[in-house]
């Protein structure tokens, strides 16, 4: 049996959008779907009120939210196997730990505890920054289908898991894959005392992108690939491309231990500014 697609829910609009996205992706992958509710008693465990006084209503709410999510999936994708699970613990930790043995983790961009002005919630940021394997952050609201997946590439091995995931997504959807290689001109490229051959630099960047894609084109010959090499800032270019993409896929070069520092600056910036859904893909083996 295939590893499951895991989706977290808390009953919010963003979580419902995540459940729908996860159901569709599980159907494409022919994988089972597991809907998880993280039941966190800690905020209610204060001296004035003992935790047992809150357990029954919180548990009933979790059961209700999971039942509604399951009903949504069964109506939307009756062909897939779907299960639900309540796990006690803080949502970021619960969902991060679910990545072990999962095909992917799907979360909403901002749950019930998020601030109205926040683009990205703390749960989705933590899971994307710490979970191994693909983490898809789904934004609520209607989305047009564009038939295009965008993946950010560079010349490092850290982007290989993102490329593998992006090619698979494009193949499953019958979508075009736009491989964006964004390079920045040398800081002193236009200083009169330093001579640069900008045409040669551009040719070299195109060659780097072509070399990176060669083996993947051979593995997925059915996928139409647009090799898109641009000069600019990666976050700005990927954010602009997200307007016409069904999914933007990025790797993560983060090295930090806490919070968003576990994400690279590009993946963190794209998560905050992209207009649509974003997948952050880290190697499951690291």
DSSP string, 155-178: SSGGGHHHHHHHHHHHHHHT-EEE
pLDDT > 70: what percent of the chain?
Answer: 81
Other beta carbons within 10 angstroms of residue 90's beta carbon come to 15
Contact 180, 230 (CB under 8 A): yes
User: Is pLDDT of 114 > 50?
Assistant: no
Domain assignment of residue 105, yes or no: yes
Q: Burial code of 113-131, b = ≥16 C-beta within 10 A, e = fewer? A: ebeeeeebbbbbbbbbbbb
Q: Is the pLDDT of residue 30 over 50?
A: yes
Asked whether residue 116 is domain-assigned, the answer is: yes
Identify the H or E element spanning 213. helix 198-219
Residue 119 falls inside a structural domain: yes
With beta carbons less than 8 A apart as the criterion, state whether 150 and 242 touch.
Answer: yes
Q: Is 133 found in the same domain as 58?
A: yes
Region 62-67 average pLDDT = 95
CA–CA gap between residue 155 and residue 268 (Å, rounded): 19
pTM for the model: 0.86
Residue 22 maps to a domain: yes
Measured over the CA atoms of residue 191, residue 194, residue 195 and residue 198, the dihedral's sign is negative
Residue 107 lies in a domain: yes
Looking at 138, 160, 177, the residue that finishes a domain is 138
Are residues 218 and 239 located together in one domain of the fold?
Answer: yes
Mean pLDDT of 11-27: 95
- Let me know whether 81 and 169 are in one domain: no
Give the residue numbers spanning the domain of 213.
148-282
Most confidently modeled range among 33-47, 72-86, 101-115, 130-144: 72-86
pLDDT in tens, 176-234: 999 999 987 665 545 555 545 667 878 888 898 999 999 999 999 999 999 999 988 99
Does 235 reside within a domain? yes
Residue 33 to residue 273: CA distance in whole angstroms = 28
| Co-location of 89 and 201 in the same domain | no
163 and 83 share a domain?
no
Q: Out of 138, 160, 185, pick the residue that ends a domain.
A: 138
30: its two tokens: 């022919």
25 and 93, same domain (yes or no)? yes
CATH number at residue 41: 3.40.50.620
Q: Are residues 95 and 218 in the same domain?
A: no
Residues facing 107 on adjacent strands = 137
- How many independent structural domains does the chain possess? 2
Q: Which residue is associated with the tokens 């039942």?
A: 67
Burial class (CB in 10 A: 0-12, 13-18, 19+), 189: middle
Structure tokens at 93: 């930790």
Residue 88 and residue 156 in one domain: no
Q: Which of residues 142 and 116 earns the better pLDDT score?
A: 142
| pLDDT at position 280 | 94
Q: Are 162 and 245 contained in the same domain? A: yes
Question: pLDDT (tens digit, 9 = 90+) per residue, 232-263?
Answer: 899 999 999 999 999 999 998 654 433 444 46
Q: What angle do CA 282, 260, 237 make, to 5 degrees?
A: 70
Region class of 105: left (phi > 0), else alpha (psi between -120 and 50), else beta: beta
- Do 71 and 118 fall into the same domain? yes
Of 149-158, 159-168, 244-253, 261-270, the range with the highest mean pLDDT is 159-168
Torsion of CA 31, 144, 105, 241, to 10 degrees: 120
What is the share, in percent, of the chain residues with pLDDT greater than 90? 53
Residue 57: the pLDDT is 83
The candidate with the shortest Cα–Cα distance to 135, out of 275, 273, 270, 38, is 270
Picking from 93, 113, 138, the residue at the C-terminal end of a domain is: 138
Q: In which region does residue 237 sit, left (phi positive, over 0), alpha (psi from -120 to 50) or beta (all else)?
A: alpha
Note the pLDDT of residue 29. 96
Q: Is residue 143 part of a domain?
A: no
Task: Looking at the structure, tell me whether residues 155 and 278 fall in a common domain.
Answer: yes
CA 111/CA 263 separation, integer angstroms: 20
In a domain, 269, yes or no: yes
Cα–Cα distances (Å) from 255 to 19, 82, 136, 217, 282, in that order, read: 30, 35, 20, 30, 12
Q: How far is CA 236 from CA 78, 112, 199, 250, in A?
A: 39, 29, 23, 13
Q: Are residues 247 and 154 in the same domain?
A: yes
Give the mean pLDDT of the chain: 84
- Residue 188: other Cβ atoms inside 10 A: 10
């Amino acid at each position: 049996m295939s590893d499951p697609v895991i989706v977290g829910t808390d009953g919010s609009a963003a979580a419902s959008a995540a459940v729908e996205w996860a159901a569709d992706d599980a159907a494409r992958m022919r994988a089972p779907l597991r809907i998880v509710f993280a039941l966190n008693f800690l905020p209610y465990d204060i001296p004035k009120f003992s935790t047992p006084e809150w357990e029954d209503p919180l548990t009933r709410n979790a059961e209700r939210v999971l039942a509604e999510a399951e009903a949504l999936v069964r109506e939307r994708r009756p062909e897939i196997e779907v299960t639900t699970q309540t796990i006690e613990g803080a949502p970021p930790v619960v969902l991060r730990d679910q990545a072990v043995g999962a095909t992917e983790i799907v979360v909403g961009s901002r749950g019930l505890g998020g601030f109205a002005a926040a683009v990205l919630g703390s749960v989705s940021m933590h899971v994307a920054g710490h979970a191994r394997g693909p983490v898809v952050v789904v934004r609520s609201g209607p989305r047009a289908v564009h038939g295009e997946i965008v993946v950010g590439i560079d010349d490092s091995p850290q982007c290989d898991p993102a490329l593998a995931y992006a090619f698979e997504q494009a193949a499953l959807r019958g979508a075009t894959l736009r491989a964006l290689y964004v390079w920045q001109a040398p800081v002193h490229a236009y200083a009169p005392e330093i001579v640069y051959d900008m045409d040669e630099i551009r040719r070299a960047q195109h060659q780097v992108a072509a070399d990176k894609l060669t083996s993947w084109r051979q593995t997925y010959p059915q996928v139409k690939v647009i090799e898109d090499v641009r000069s600019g800032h990666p976050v700005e270019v990927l954010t602009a491309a997200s307007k016409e993409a069904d999914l933007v896929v990025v790797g993560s070069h983060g090295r930090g231990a806490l919070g968003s520092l576990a994400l690279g600056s590009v993946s963190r910036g794209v998560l905050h500014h992209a207009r649509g859904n974003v997948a952050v893909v880290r190697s499951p083996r690291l």
